[in-house]
Structure 1
Amino acid sequence: MHNHTQPRPMFIWRTIFWMTFLLIPFALSSQTYKLSGSEGEVMVTGTSTLHDWEEIAEKKSGSIGLDVSGELPKITTLKFAVESESLKSGKSGMDKNTYKALDSDKHKEIVYQMTSVKSISKASSANTYKVIATGNLTIAGHTNKVDLPFNLTVNGSKVTLDGKYGMKMTSFGIEPPKALMGTIKTGDEIEIHYTTIWK
């Protein structure tokens, strides 16, 4: 009498092995990159009745999830935050007015959280892609849905996001700051310029 049950454990192990082997590429294909706080730059530029101005964000954080297994990368997650009171212009009076306008005592961070990718396409240089990401931008406690355009460059363990986004302060319920008893007025239109490094 032959015993046919003997090879069964071997068959089970072989099945587990192949299932694991086939699933590994999917597990490895999506990677999370953390924003480097010490590299890159996030700058806000604007105008006033006296002169143009700029502020640089000294504290920023975030993470991006990327799946680079296909022809075009897939952005699975993207979150980006700047500490409101880390915006510095080099002029303490202007900084104070900025923090007041941002209501930074209550709202410590400016946050962008992606909800979907509107479009992604290859750019002219290698490993670079043009992206428009839809997400929620929260400034001074006011959230708007925005389309954020940027170039995404994937280089091994390093990812670069760079672009610029123009907006009106009043669209976030922010009254453009004034100085010197209201004689110097800031323009409503500002631009956020960013070159960020993620690892």
Structure 2
Amino acid sequence: MLKLKKMNRIMLKVFALFLLTSSIGQAQEFNLNNQESSLKVLGTSNVHDWELEAENLRGKISFKNLNECIIEACNIEVTVEGLKSGKSSMDKNTFKALKSEKHKTISFKLVEVKTVENKDAGKFSVQSVGDLTIAGVKKRVDLNFILNHTEGKVNLTGEKKIKMTDFNVDPPKAMFGAITTGDEVLIKFSTQLK
């Protein structure tokens, strides 16, 4: 009887170890690599088109199962004063419009993955919904992106059009209102996570 109890305990430990290692093998987390990632904001004005590039990105993505692209969580942050155009006066107007003194970051937090389509060999088309927060205003938005995974790396690429006024951001102006920017901007991203 004692041997049977001991054998049952050993079997239980082996089974628990098996469950633990199989879940570790499938659940994975990746952190954003700022040097290998890019995010651009493209807009228009009554004079010329303009572009901002993010110098400082942070974030992570975690999977319940990477091979099946079952995403558990995804969060991305952009430092507002790291958005640069190459023109300091435009950057100052951008920071002011985005209320950077009070709201230091722009963030996206995944809420739900609606669909995942397996394209081939680690490439998936993902339709998702998340909370986008700009200048302290949070809005739920649809976001479609392509997810590629290779050994030890995940890459997310996509784009999203938004209106600044939806986030209570007045499109920046310059030269006493002589230069005005359009309300709609296009955000393009290619983020590398390791």
User: For this structure pair, what is the TM-score category when the shorter chain's length is used for normalisation?
Assistant: over 0.9
Distance 2:19 2:61 in 1: 25
Residue 86 of structure 2 corresponds to which residue in structure 1?
90
Higher CA-based Rg? 1
Structure 1 residue runs without a partner (length 5+): none
Aligned positions of 1:60-99 closer than 5 A = 60-68=57-65, 72-99=68-95
Which residue does 1:137 correspond to in 2?
Answer: 132
2: CA distance, partners of 1:69 / 1:11:
34
Q: Is the 8 A contact 2:53 2:84 kept in 1?
A: yes
Q: How many residues matched?
A: 194
User: Which string of whole-angstrom CA distances, capped at 9 and with x for unpartnered residues, describes residues 94-140 of structure 1?
Assistant: 000000000000000000011110111122x5311011121100000
CA shift at 1:69, angstroms?
A: 5.7
Q: Cα RMSD over matched residues?
A: 1.2
Q: Could you tell me how far 1:23 is from its partner in structure 2?
A: 3.4
Output aligned runs, 1:20-169, within 5 Å: 20-68=17-65, 72-123=68-119, 125-169=120-164
Alpha-carbon shift at residue 68 of structure 1 (Å) = 3.1
Gaps of 5+ in 2: none
Calculate percent identity across the aligned residue pairs: 40
Q: Bigger shift: 7-16 or 179-188?
A: 7-16
SS in 1 for 2:34: coil
Q: AA paired with 2:33?
A: S
What letter matches 2:179 in structure 1?
I
**Deviation at 1:27?**
2.7
2:168 maps to amino acid: G
Task: Quote the residue 1:15 is aligned against.
Answer: 12
TM-score (norm 2): 0.96
For the 8 Å contact 2:28–2:66, the answer to whether it is kept is no
How far apart in 2 are the matches of 1:29 and 1:126?
A: 17
TM-score by length of 1: 0.94
Structure 1 runs (4+) deviating above 4 angstroms are: none
Tell me by how many angstroms 1:11 deviates: 2.3
